[in-house]
Chains A and B, each alone.
Chain A
Amino acid sequence: MLKKRIIPCLDIKDGRTVKGINFVDIQDAGDPIELAKRYVEEGADELVFLDITATIENRKTLVNLVQKIAKEINIPFTVGGGINSIPDVEKIIKAGADKVSVNSSAVKNPELISEIANQYGSQCVVVAIDTKFVDGEWMVFIHGGRTITLLKTIEWAKKVTELGAGEILLTSMNNDGTKAGFAMDITNEVSKAINIPVIASGGAGTKAHFSDLFTNTEASAGLAASIFHYSEIPIPELKNYLQNKKIPVRITENKTT
């Protein structure tokens, strides 16, 4: 049976992990490679790296980092942040990423999705959608959530699927950072409207939030950042919990004790 995936997300700035690591009691979590290796050992199913600087000067740093990750990590990983063109995609994929994630650039130039899909295959294209409930509608936001667009979330999800996206990473801005749980309604609406996997993101704070997500929606994966960085919810504990709830997950031998 296909397993539900648990995906830690690492925000990268100038080659370092930035989110949720400037706190005490974390073992060198500033190094994304060390953190990524820890997640792999704990049984993460995939990793997502989002470059939040994404300026031209820092592209080289990112490409070098992706090369290092690809050498060290034996599970699939996605790289996103500031990917605007086929040459950008080529650099990241050549460096060893399995997938790229596009967000604002896909809204501005939807053809980019088909171009990537045609050249590298749909499995390579993750379209990230930041969504917020505004005046009774789930709307698409870009520029890291700063700018509202005219796109309705369900319609945009359908459109990117037609264009060749292989997966959707759906972040509810209403839920993100609240630790109050995933946005069930929009996650399920999107999952039902399209025939490609949906990764739910935003709001995970407890183990129960993941079981609620997988019980009440057709999401294929759940993504979170700080709860994993801080070891608030260790991945092995989360997976055992989900297994006990009869949710299919990949159980591994945890080598970090």
Chain B
Amino acid sequence: MIAIVKYNAGNIRSVQNALTRLGYESIITDKASELLNADKVIFPGVGEASSAMKYLTEKGLDKILLTIEKPMLGICLGLQLMCKYSEEADTTCLGIFDTNVKKFPDTGKVPHMGWNSFIDTKSPLFKGIEHNNDVYYVHSYYAEINDQTIASCDYILPFGTAMQKDNFYATQFHPEKSADIGEKILKNFLEL
């Protein structure tokens, strides 16, 4: 069973729709037992960092998510919340990834919205994806590149578009909205 973390962020249902299309059953839950017993956990979301962290903390999910031992995939805001700190409303985040989240400078159009490519480090997440790897982005904040960055994207400046530490994976782009390539990445994650 795949568990999708339930919290006050948008876009959660579209992840479930994507899993259904791939033939996987999933539940949307904020129960510790269901999250800890799931084969895979997906932590999606579009929203605002501080209100999301507040909600996670109130539900005790800030602690639970750190103890997940099965593969977990953060998406978009999920990736940002898995970092150390976000400039968005000065928010202390989960700290799984040892990097900070900053706002894009206004030297380009913000949000970064649309299809953009990435350069990966041959992570199993990107197995079978070689070129033409355009994926869908929509975000105004980005994670700074560090040694946990497994793929980078260039928009206004280079940023970390995929991260990994142990069983924790995350993408800034939306695999669930990235057509066939996104489905392939989700499938790669589900088959880890």
Contact = CB atoms under 8 A, between A and B. Distances in A.
B113 A3 contact: no
Interface string B98-136: 000000001001111111110000000000000010101
B37 interface: no
A71 interface: yes
Contacts of A98: 11, 14, 177
Nearest to B18: A74
Nearest to A94: B13
A74 B178 contact: yes
B132 A251 contact: yes
A252 interface: yes
Interface residues of B, number: 37
Contact of A123 (B20, B116, B138, B176): B138
Given A76-B136, A93-B10, A98-B11, A71 B111 contact: no
Contacts of A250: 115, 132, 134
Contacts of B20: 71
B113 A197 contact: yes
Given A252-B132, A252-B179, A2 B17 contact: no
B188 interface: no
Given A75-B136, A94-B13, A96-B17, A45 B114 contact: yes
B90 to A, nearest CB: 18
Given A70-B17, A76-B136, A221 B114 contact: yes
A221 B112 CA distance: 13
B48 interface: yes
Contacts of A196: 109-111
Contacts of A124: 10, 46
Interface string A162-182: 000011000000000000000
A241 interface: no
Contact of A75 (B21, B106, B138, B179): B179
Nearest to B22: A74
Contacts of B111: 122-123, 166, 196-197
Interface string A186-197: 000000000111
Interface residues of A, number: 31
A222 B13 CA distance: 28
Nearest to A44: B179
A218 B114 CA distance: 14
B44 interface: no
A69 to B, nearest CB: 10
A195 B106 contact: yes
B170 to A, nearest CB: 18
Interface of A: 1-3, 5, 40, 45, 70-71, 74-76, 93-94, 96, 98, 120-124, 166-167, 195-197, 220-221, 250-253
Interface of B: 10-11, 13-14, 17-18, 20-21, 46-48, 106, 109-117, 132, 134, 136, 138-140, 154-155, 174, 176-180, 182-183
20 contacts: A1-B154, A2-B116, A3-B114, A45-B115, A70-B13, A74-B180, A75-B136, A76-B177, A96-B13, A98-B11, A120-B46, A120-B47, A121-B10, A166-B111, A166-B138, A195-B109, A197-B113, A197-B114, A220-B109, A252-B180
Interchain residue pairs A-B with the least CB separation, the first 10: A250-B134, A3-B115, A250-B115, A123-B138, A2-B116, A76-B177, A5-B114, A71-B17, A197-B113, A74-B179
